[in-house]
Structure 1
Amino acid sequence: MIRQLWRLTYALSLDEVSMCAPAVYAERKGRAWVLERADESGYEGVACVDDAARLAVLLLRAYKRFGLPWARDWAHGLIEFVKFMQEDDGSFVNFILDWDGKKNYHGPTSYPGGQPWLARGLWALAWHYIVFEDMDSLDRLRRGVELYLSQSHKFMDVNALVAYALLELYDHTHNQDFLGVALSICEEIASHHNHGLLLISEHDVYPHLWGYIQPGVLFKACQHTANAEWLDLANYSLRSYLAPMVRSGFDKTTTIPYEVSSAVLNFQLAYEHTADEEFSTLYTKAKSWFYGDNPAKSPVYDRNLGMVYDGIDNKVVSKNSGAESNIEGAMALFDDLPWHQYKLSEIE
């Protein structure tokens, strides 16, 4: 999957700054892979903050853990792209329309101020500061957080990602301001539930699985504050809703890697807080979906080709392999990947 992400990554020079970004999609055309544009909501563009920011976080984690120079250099290029896409008010434009760097200011999944790509941009900036203590990244993050707090929040999965980023930043800086904002966001997350089941929005009956990390984030928050209500909500949501899904191998019509990686993160954070072996078992079980423990009975992670496919639909594994699937797969399987064995050449 790291190899596929390398294949998808384009080098750019915008505003006289060298940077890079992963192409959004790749579809299989015979024996070849063809890079595709995002057009699910009308034409959106060729690359986006959503993917570049997550890939930057992945590589910054790899550099922090393993000290790999190629991960450092790749991450720097991605961070420059994220910074290029940030506006003066702290918001982000999500997509570039072409490889000349024209920003998509008007698309429904790209306009400045959209919260999902704002959250992911902030996560990347937080990690850039965690690893390199880059003051420009910290200043940009502060502007973005200020903007985010000025907005109303409809979607608790986005809230959870912002809180998670700030909790990780607090672990590094011990800055009480970051912790205070994270805990206030967690309070809002905890207010959105249906008889104990944490929800994405107030209109949900059951939450979708992709990006559903609220239980895990509440567990992480409780490392810094004693809140029995949050622990009850997190426990109930994982044990009653997510655990049966994981035990079934995500036995539903369609499952994408982002859904599975979100489950993996939930059980990882739950185990880190509780040391409950059931959570450890569910963490391992969720990861096994990528290796073939799924309704298709076939791996979604192709070790030989170095890629994660785009999911399972009606018990058939997709033959396409885009950026998000490989990023989320690598997030989920981070501890399983042979990081020191990757030999990556210069991005062309």
Structure 2
Amino acid sequence: MVSLVRLLFVFFLVLFWNASNSLAQRTTPRYVNLSHLNHLYQSVQLKTSGIDVGTIAIYSEAPDYHLVTDADEGFTCIDDVARAGLFLLGEPDIDMNQDKQTKLRTMVEFVLQLQAPDQEAGAGYFYNFLWPDRTINKTFRTSVAEPNFWSWRAMWLLTEAKPYYQKREAELADRIQAATQKLVANMLRDYGSQPKTYQVVKGVRVPGWLPFGSGTDQAAIMLLSLNTIYQQHPTLDLLKLIDALGEGILSMQHGDKNRFPYGAILSFENNWHAYASDQSYALLRVGKALNRPEWVAAARREIDHFYPYLLRQGFLESFEVRSTKKGMEPVRTSRFSQIAYGIRPMIWASLEAYEQTKKPEYAELAGKLASWFLGNNVAKAIMYDVATGRGYDGIGATGKVNYNSGAESTIESLWAFQRLEQYPEAINALKKYN
């Protein structure tokens, strides 16, 4: 009898602890605030098909944050809708929040509807922009269906969304699978058998088989998506393409702890730019999944040596390098503009390094990098407003803040804090710097 009483006591104690812990998690204030993202969101009906899709306005201008259309491009694009969809997929309450589920569903539909059909040029790739009259922009250079950022971001969302919908909406999962297969077929055709050739730019040897020859920024997004597909349906052709992309990225890494550019992975030719620098994050994720220790080591080399260098510089926007007898040296360096899209990739990579190693210095680094958003920057200005959910569009050359709050800046800011919230150690580090 005594044992039964003790057992019941322990049982109810565990129940109480779980309930209290759950309540604490629900009531802990979040850095993530979807208010402005919801302001940017709109469900519209495509003119050609009559299908409802979810859109994210590309521009929102201060001080009233009205939505703005670009005359050449349109009012919304896959680049931003796909990122917003990926953000929603990562929300901790996505399985319970009907509003987020509805928005995600319409965003996935947007992406599917913008894939070029078989009879059109660029079939299997994706158009990017939508005009205000709800027709697809098929002609402007940043919107044509081609192997470019927006096609890779479309694939990123679709590959992550497919497992989510397999048990919830099988018909949609099948459509995602069909769209992805078309795109992968294009990728295998266009990149799967590229010869491993190099060219030399200002003495720097760069690969010729990545997007636009040496685009490691785009190759990183491709790696993430292709690895997701490979984990579900492994094929030799897919693995060869993944390995080729990884090899190309590694060939663009230069320097080490003591030599400039301190392990940085160049973005394109002899250039490095902060935006879209997801190479280390991709190498860590895919390197771990495929047992490529050299990929993981390369990523950690950039995180360990180049990220601290950027912090010491007060961050950089871009630089060019040339190769000399003494090694790599910069020939042009730009400090501005500084944008959320240049900070978030480093936070993700640092957190992934922490996830894989549990070394506290990586959580510390992620928190310090994230403090840029909350005022620890050259302008001493808030770049992500927790109260409104606005991510501001950047810090200019004079240290002046652009207080417009478009889709890219908002989503990249939300992405940074969504990931940080999963690691209390990084949040504690963040608080030290603000």
Shared fold, TM over 0.5: yes
Equivalences for residues 1-348 of structure 1 within 5 A: 1-14=33-46, 15-28=49-62, 30=63, 32-38=64-70, 43-62=72-91, 67-88=96-117, 89-98=123-132, 100-133=133-166, 134-152=173-191, 153-154=211-212, 155-169=215-229, 173=232, 175-177=233-235, 181-195=241-255, 197-201=264-268, 203-205=269-271, 207-246=272-311, 249-250=314-315, 252-313=335-396, 314-335=398-419
The number of equivalent residue pairs is 328
User: CA–CA distance in 2 between the matches of 1:167 and 1:331?
Assistant: 21
Contact 1:197 1:233 survives alignment (8 Å): no
- Displacement of 1:301 in angstroms is 1.2
Q: Tell me: higher relative CO, structure 1 or 2? Use CA pairs within 8 A at least 6 residues apart.
A: 1
Q: Give the corresponding residue for 1:346.
A: none
User: CA–CA distance in 1 between the matches of 2:80 and 2:291?
Assistant: 34
Contact 2:94 2:100 survives alignment (8 Å): no
The one-letter code sitting in structure 2 at the alignment partner of 1:125 is L
3-state SS, counterpart of residue 20 of structure 1: strand
Structure 2 unaligned runs (5+)?
A: 1-32, 118-122, 167-172, 192-210, 256-262, 317-334, 423-434
The structure with the largest alpha-carbon Rg is 2
Provide the aligned C-alpha RMSD in A. 2.3
Deviations 1:99-144 (A, max 9, x none): x322111211111114100000001111210211212112211211
Normalising to structure 2: TM-score of the pair?
A: 0.70
- Displacement of 1:249 in angstroms is 4.9
CA shift in 2, pair 1:36/1:114, >3 Å: farther
- Displacement of 1:228 in angstroms is 4.2
CA shift in 2, pair 1:128/1:224, >3 Å: closer
Contact 1:63 1:72 survives alignment (8 Å): no
Structure 1 unaligned runs (5+)?
A: 339-348
The one-letter code sitting in structure 1 at the alignment partner of 2:222 is V
The one-letter code sitting in structure 2 at the alignment partner of 1:73 is T
User: CA–CA distance in 2 between the matches of 1:247 and 1:75?
Assistant: 39
Contact 1:54 1:327 survives alignment (8 Å): yes
Deviations 1:66-100 (A, max 9, x none): 632221110101111111111122110111122x3
User: CA–CA distance in 1 between the matches of 2:298 and 2:218?
Assistant: 18
- Displacement of 1:65 in angstroms is 6.0
Contact 1:217 1:269 survives alignment (8 Å): no
The one-letter code sitting in structure 2 at the alignment partner of 1:255 is Q
Deviations 1:291-346 (A, max 9, x none): 111111121111222211112123232210001111111110104679xxxxxxxx
User: CA–CA distance in 1 between the matches of 2:281 and 2:134?
Assistant: 36
3-state SS, counterpart of residue 163 of structure 2: helix
